[in-house]
């Protein structure tokens, strides 16, 4: 599909139909040799391949047709992900709203041969402070995050069907983003990486009403918090696991930074926060301008969400709950002994007391 910012790759069967004065690269011979080594049968039609033209690079690359290209690209997945699992994973439609942690999510999904149909939403541009965690480089600074994401995806999977919301989601279009309409698919899974608390709540109400599961990964120092809300299985389930009670949407609008942080921390629950994350949150507005995030943690979040998407797409058991995945817990000696547990509880109580007075 064409967006306001860029045109998706074009697929040509014949070299003669390509635009003039562009770079050409022929990757087909090597790909066919790889197919033999990986025990793939190749039909005569597949030996012809297709040309993928990237307008923003003024380059065309000859590769195998979609089916064989996908088999080759995911050939090292085999047995870890079965053929049938890969097919169902590829067939799911997902939406990612928010491309900070969301950039690691789409990267993990695409790298593992995940959903062909992906919706992306973010209104922001890449800034230098994003470069510690986003799939972007210095030349991307000042460029809309959606444009960078789309190019990254299409340069790996030119057959991907992307639906791009370069102005982000809002109250007017969040329902369309989730439920589709016209030429857009309804989501099978909604992935929330937004900052807006009212949109987080609204999106969950829409998802619950239409029985669509919601996933959300939250960076937590060198660890992540992963929320799974299976509204497809539990349509009466309270949003945010009931952590906000019967909150009204109006209560979540026009929050200043302090009020936003207090509500966000209530959703996350301070008892889950690592010590360094607690220390960092207390410094917001004093020595730091925003919530700290690490690229390594974002990558962990992306990998976790990709795994959960694959399980849900394949109908495997994946219950609603809050999950934690902590590097501190795994690698810090004596992290789990009783003395250290009690020390962390005491520090958390102090954090809650101080944070409430910020």
Q: Which of 304, 303, 309, 175 is nearest to 230 (CA)?
A: 309
Query: Are 237 and 230 contacting, i.e. CB atoms less than 8 angstroms apart?
Result: yes
- In 3-state terms, what secondary structure has residue 51? strand
Question: 3 pLDDT exceeds 50?
Answer: no
**Nearest-10 crossing angle of helices 338-355, 275-282:** 20
Mean pLDDT of 99-109: 95
Tell me which residue has tokens 């817990």: 329
Q: What is the CA radius of gyration of the chain?
A: 22
Q: What percent of the chain has pLDDT over 70?
A: 98
* CA atoms of 188 and 38, how far apart (whole Å): 32
Least confident span in 43-47, 252-256, 299-303: 252-256
Q: What percent of the chain has pLDDT over 90?
A: 73
Which residues are registered as beta bridge partners of 219? 224
Which run of H or of E encompasses 262? helix 257-268
Overall size of the chain counted in residues: 358
pTM: 0.92
Name the band, by pLDDT with cuts 50, 70 and 90, for residue 332: very high
Query: Are 177 and 119 contacting, i.e. CB atoms less than 8 angstroms apart?
Result: yes
Cβ-based neighbours of 336, under 8 Å, separated by 6 or more: 329
Task: Dump pLDDT digits (tens) for 197-226.
Answer: 889 999 999 999 999 999 999 999 999 999
Q: Which of 34, 19, 30, 94 is nearest to 62 (CA)?
A: 30
Name the band, by pLDDT with cuts 50, 70 and 90, for residue 1: very low
Which residues are registered as beta bridge partners of 10? 53
* CA atoms of 283 and 146, how far apart (whole Å): 30
Question: 254 pLDDT exceeds 80?
Answer: no
Mean pLDDT of 320-348: 93
- Can you give the pLDDT at residue 58? 96
Average pLDDT value for the chain: 91
């Amino acid at each position: 599909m064409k967006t306001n910012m860029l045109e998706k790759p074009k697929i040509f069967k014949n070299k003669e139909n390509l635009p003039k004065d562009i770079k050409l690269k022929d990757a087909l011979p090597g790909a066919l040799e790889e197919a033999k080594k990986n025990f793939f049968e190749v039909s005569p039609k597949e030996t012809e391949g297709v040309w993928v033209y990237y307008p923003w690079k003024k380059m065309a690359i000859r590769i195998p047709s979609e089916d064989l290209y996908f088999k080759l690209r995911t050939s090292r997945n085999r047995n870890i992900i079965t053929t049938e699992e890969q097919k169902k994973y590829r067939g799911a439609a997902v939406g990612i709203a928010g491309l900070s942690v969301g950039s690691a999510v789409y990267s993990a999904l695409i790298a593992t041969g995940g959903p062909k149909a992906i919706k992306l939403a973010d209104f922001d541009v890449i800034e230098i402070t994003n470069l510690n965690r986003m799939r972007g480089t210095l030349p991307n600074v000042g460029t809309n995050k959606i444009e960078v994401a789309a190019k990254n995806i299409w340069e790996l999977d030119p057959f991907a069907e992307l639906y791009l919301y370069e102005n982000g989601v809002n109250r007017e279009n969040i329902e369309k983003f989730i439920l589709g309409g016209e030429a857009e698919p309804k989501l099978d899974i909604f992935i929330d990486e937004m900052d807006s608390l009212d949109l987080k709540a609204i999106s969950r109400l829409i998802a619950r009403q239409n029985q669509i599961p919601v996933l959300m990964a939250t960076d937590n120092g060198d660890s992540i918090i992963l929320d799974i809300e299976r509204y497809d299985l539990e349509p009466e389930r309270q949003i945010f696991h009931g952590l906000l009670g019967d909150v009204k949407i109006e209560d979540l609008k026009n929050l200043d930074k302090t009020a936003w942080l207090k509500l966000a921390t209530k959703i996350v629950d301070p008892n889950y926060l690592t010590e360094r994350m607690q220390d960092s949150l207390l410094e917001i507005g004093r020595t730091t301008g925003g919530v700290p995030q690490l690229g390594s943690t974002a990558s962990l979040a992306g990998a976790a969400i990709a795994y959960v998407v694959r399980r849900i797409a394949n109908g495997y058991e994946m219950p609603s709950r809050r999950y934690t995945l902590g590097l501190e817990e795994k690698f810090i000696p004596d992290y789990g002994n009783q003395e250290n547990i009690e020390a962390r509880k005491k520090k958390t109580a102090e954090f809650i007391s101080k944070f409430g007075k910020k």
